[in-house]
Chains A and B, each alone.
Chain A
Amino acid sequence: MEFIVESVNKTMNIGKKIGSLACAGDIICLTGDLGSGKTHFTKGIAEGLGISDNITSPTFTIVNEYEGRIKLYHFDVYRVNDPDEISAIGFDEYIFGEGICVIEWSNYIRDLIPEEYISINIMKIPEEDTNFRKIIIEYKGDRYNYIKEIRL
Chain B
Amino acid sequence: MRVLSLDSATEVASCAIIEDSKLLGEVIINYKMQHSKTLLPIIDSLLVSLDLTLKDIDGFVVSKGPGSFTGLRIGMATIKGFSQGTNKPFVSVSTLDSLAYNMCYTRGIICPILDALRGNLYTALYTFTGTKFITISDYMVISVEELISLLIKHNSPVCFIGDGLIKHGDLLKKSFSDISFAPVHLNLARASSLGEIGIKRLLMGEKDNIYDSSPMYLRKTQAEREYEKKMETLKNV
Contacts and interface: CB of A to CB of B under 8 A. Distances in A.
The main secondary structure of chain A at its interface with chain B is: helix
Given A92-B118, A96-B117, A84 B221 contact: yes
Interface in A107-130: 111
A35 interface: no
A21 interface: no
A52 interface: no
Contact of A111 (B69, B117, B219, B222): B222
A96 B225 CA distance: 18
Nearest to B72: A90
A111 B232 CA distance: 15
Contact residues on A (Cβ < 8 Å of other chain), bracket: 10 to 19
Interface string A39-81: 0000000000000000000000000000000000000000000
B225 A93 contact: no
Nearest to A90: B69
Given A92-B117, A92-B118, A111 B70 contact: no
Question: Which A-B residue pairs are the 9 nearest by beta carbons?
Answer: A90-B69, A92-B117, A84-B222, A83-B222, A96-B117, A90-B70, A84-B221, A87-B219, A93-B68
Interface of A: 82-84, 87-90, 92-93, 96, 111
21 contacts: A82-B222, A83-B222, A84-B221, A84-B222, A87-B219, A87-B222, A88-B69, A88-B217, A89-B69, A90-B68, A90-B69, A90-B70, A92-B118, A93-B68, A93-B70, A93-B117, A96-B117, A111-B222, A111-B225, A111-B226, A111-B229
